[in-house]
Amino acid sequence: MSARRHFPAMPHLPRRRFLQGLAAGGILLGWSPWSRTAWAREASATATGTAAVLSGTEFDLTIAETPVNFTGMPRLATTINGSIPGPTLRWREGDTVTLRVTNRLPVDSSIHWHGILLPYQMDGVPGISYPGIAPGETFVYRFKVQQTGTYWYHSHSGFQEQTGMYGAIVIEPRSGDSIRADREYVVQLSDWTDENPMAVMAKLKRQSGYYNFNQPTAVQFLRDASRDGLSAAVNKRKMWNQMRMNPTDLADVSAHTYTYLMNGVTPAGNWTGLFRSGEKLRLRFINGSAMTFFDVRIPGLKLTVVQADGQNVEPISVDEIRIGVAETYDVIVTPKDDAYTIFAQSMDRTGFARGTLATRAGVTAAVPAPDKPEPLSMGDMMGDMMGGKRAHHARTEYGPSTDMRVDTPRTNLDDPGVGLRDNGRRVLTYADLRTIGGPLDRRGAQREIELHLTGNMERYTWSLDGVEFGRSTPVHFRRNERLRVIFVNDTMMTHPMHMHGMWQELENPDGKFQARKHTINVQPAQRVTFLVTADALGRWAWHCHLLYHMDMGMFREVVVA
């Protein structure tokens, strides 16, 4: 982060106003002469909630600081071409694209092309694929586009992603798109804080539950006692205390500091996408947040999921989708009424992003109240309880970086996750996803690698196998080998695990191909497996996509040679 950037104390705003932001929140056009010149079009577009769209094979992108105001307090954001989100980049399969990225920040920066297959030198991860982009310098990315679908890009330097540096990528099939729609919109979700992200991290280090206001209450204890009996309620509370775990620890950072954005617009600002009644719309959902899982629904409309992480899937109709950080889902909807609310509530239910699909500007639909937060279950803590074993403290096994270990993790993919179970709506799960065309490589696994997702909430450290990135050694893949990777989540938080440069081909509990993804959510006390073909030579990042988890050590380097 810039040493000269100043973040004043959080303003004392009414709770509702802070959660929903300002109706006109966003880029402050009058503050920056830079935004009034070469990039005025992009900045102005953001003020109305639509990033500029840049198409072709040659692109010029500039990283800089831009004044913004989402909550009533001016701040400096990290932007690309002066907007939040940055421009939507439209590429075509088979083309070679050239992207000249100039850094106008006083510190190093970078751009990572999330989910894109390319030479590792173009991947954009400082310290692994290249040194980064120094202040005042321009780095030229050049690579052939080998895929189609919805993806995104973001900084991989410090906390710049948290301060606004992200944008969408849409790649058109060279021979025409098999997914038909009359109109389409990118819907990029994100989280904004007025605080300096370094201050957020410092608070989490001092007290991991600093932003968690959904603490267990006496009312909940009495409800448990009434339902399960006093002894059971006491034992349940005692067990959580002994484990030093909190059943309401659903998100490290909440709406206490976050304002949730849809295409760079606050809930009060109400991003709007227009349509004609009866049109078939394609919505390209992208979770470009730093730390927030969003549960997305459009009351009154079914969502037909047609693509996951840029890959076409067998269409499946649902009411709601949980979108993990860095995931993308394309859905088809056919609205008939005048207006519908796109409602994206945070997993901890402390806030939401919101927009509208409407037949004309200014028309709105009812905005639902957030669901009540639900606590983690015993299964979230102990995994497969039928296995007869319990999660236990693991300090003797993994050291001080780990505070628990799950002996019998569950392997099912049909669990929508905490807060979505039995809510009366049809919720998408990984068990519903079936990537069209099956696996890219029909070979079985030649070797297996097992990694445990580990952490210590008291210390706020995150790691793999109890080892933070700074103390780790690279994971080595042999060129073109077929591997099975096993993730076991020993923590009580869901981790979106992202492997750069190669596809993760998720398996079902029977070991059969399920879906091709660049980011896989691993739920608490869950074991998931996927196959990967090591066909990308070089050095690659592999990490949890929760920004503060990655920064605190849940990160490894993969070397393919």
CA dist., res. 262 & res. 272, Å (int): 10
Percentage with pLDDT > 90 across the chain: 78
Structure pTM? 0.90
pLDDT at 46: 35
pLDDT at 413: 98
Three-state DSSP at 122 gives: helix
CA dist., res. 241 & res. 364, Å (int): 46
For residues 68 and 75, the answer to whether their CB atoms sit within 8 Å is yes
If one compares 178 and 243, the residue with the highest pLDDT of the two is 178
Q: What is the mean pLDDT of residues 495-503?
A: 98
For residues 187 and 354, the answer to whether their CB atoms sit within 8 Å is no
pLDDT at 131: 98
Concatenated DSSP letters of 68-113: EESSSS-EEEEEETTBSS-PEEEEETT-EEEEEEEE-SSS-B--EE
CA dist., res. 538 & res. 550, Å (int): 21
Q: Is the pLDDT of residue 34 over 50?
A: no
Handedness of CA 389, 390, 393, 398 (dihedral sign): positive
Residue 2 — very low, low, confident or very high, per pLDDT cuts 50/70/90?
A: very low
For residues 105 and 1, the answer to whether their CB atoms sit within 8 Å is no
Residue 3 — very low, low, confident or very high, per pLDDT cuts 50/70/90?
A: very low
pLDDT at 458: 86
Q: Is the pLDDT of residue 537 over 60?
A: yes
Q: What is the mean pLDDT of residues 260-283?
A: 97
CA dist., res. 280 & res. 292, Å (int): 29
Q: Is the pLDDT of residue 43 over 70?
A: no
Q: Is the pLDDT of residue 232 over 80?
A: no
* Exposure b/e, 100-113, CB count within 10 A at least 16 = b: ebebebebbbbbbb
If one compares 343 and 457, the residue with the highest pLDDT of the two is 343
Integer-rounded Cα radius of gyration of the chain: 23
- Nearest CA to 156 out of 547, 554, 452, 556 is that of 547
Q: Is the pLDDT of residue 478 over 60?
A: yes
Longest dimension (CA), the chain: 69
Lowest-confidence segment of 111-115, 151-155, 244-248, 389-393 by average pLDDT: 389-393
> Distance between alpha carbon 406 and the CA centroid of its chain, in Å?
25
Residue 28 — very low, low, confident or very high, per pLDDT cuts 50/70/90?
A: confident
Q: What is the mean pLDDT of residues 530-539?
A: 98
If one compares 2 and 219, the residue with the highest pLDDT of the two is 219
CA dist., res. 492 & res. 496, Å (int): 13
Q: What is the mean pLDDT of residues 263-289?
A: 97
Q: What is the mean pLDDT of residues 503-521?
A: 98
For residue 85, is the peptide bond before it cis, meaning its omega torsion is within 30 degrees of 0? yes
Q: What is the mean pLDDT of residues 112-121?
A: 98
pLDDT at 388: 42
pLDDT at 400: 77
pLDDT at 37: 30
pLDDT at 13: 53
196-221 pLDDT per residue, tens: 999 999 999 999 999 998 765 555 55
What is the rounded (10 degree) CA torsion for 187, 188, 189, 193? -140
If one compares 317 and 233, the residue with the highest pLDDT of the two is 317
Q: Is the pLDDT of residue 41 over 50?
A: no
Mean pLDDT of the chain: 89
Q: Is the pLDDT of residue 35 over 60?
A: no
Q: What is the mean pLDDT of residues 487-494?
A: 95
**What's 486's DSSP letter?**
E
CA dist., res. 420 & res. 246, Å (int): 19
Q: Please return the burial class of 338, using the count of CB atoms within 10 Å of its CB with bins 0-12, 13-18 and 19+.
A: middle
pLDDT at 40: 31
Residue 333 — very low, low, confident or very high, per pLDDT cuts 50/70/90?
A: very high
Lowest-confidence segment of 228-242, 326-340, 361-375 by average pLDDT: 228-242
Residue 280 — very low, low, confident or very high, per pLDDT cuts 50/70/90?
A: very high
pLDDT at 229: 73
Q: What is the mean pLDDT of residues 35-50?
A: 38
Lowest-confidence segment of 237-246, 276-285, 348-357, 482-491 by average pLDDT: 237-246
For residue 474, is the peptide bond before it cis, meaning its omega torsion is within 30 degrees of 0? no
* Exposure b/e, 44-71, CB count within 10 A at least 16 = b: bbbbebbbbebeeeebebbbbbbbbbbb
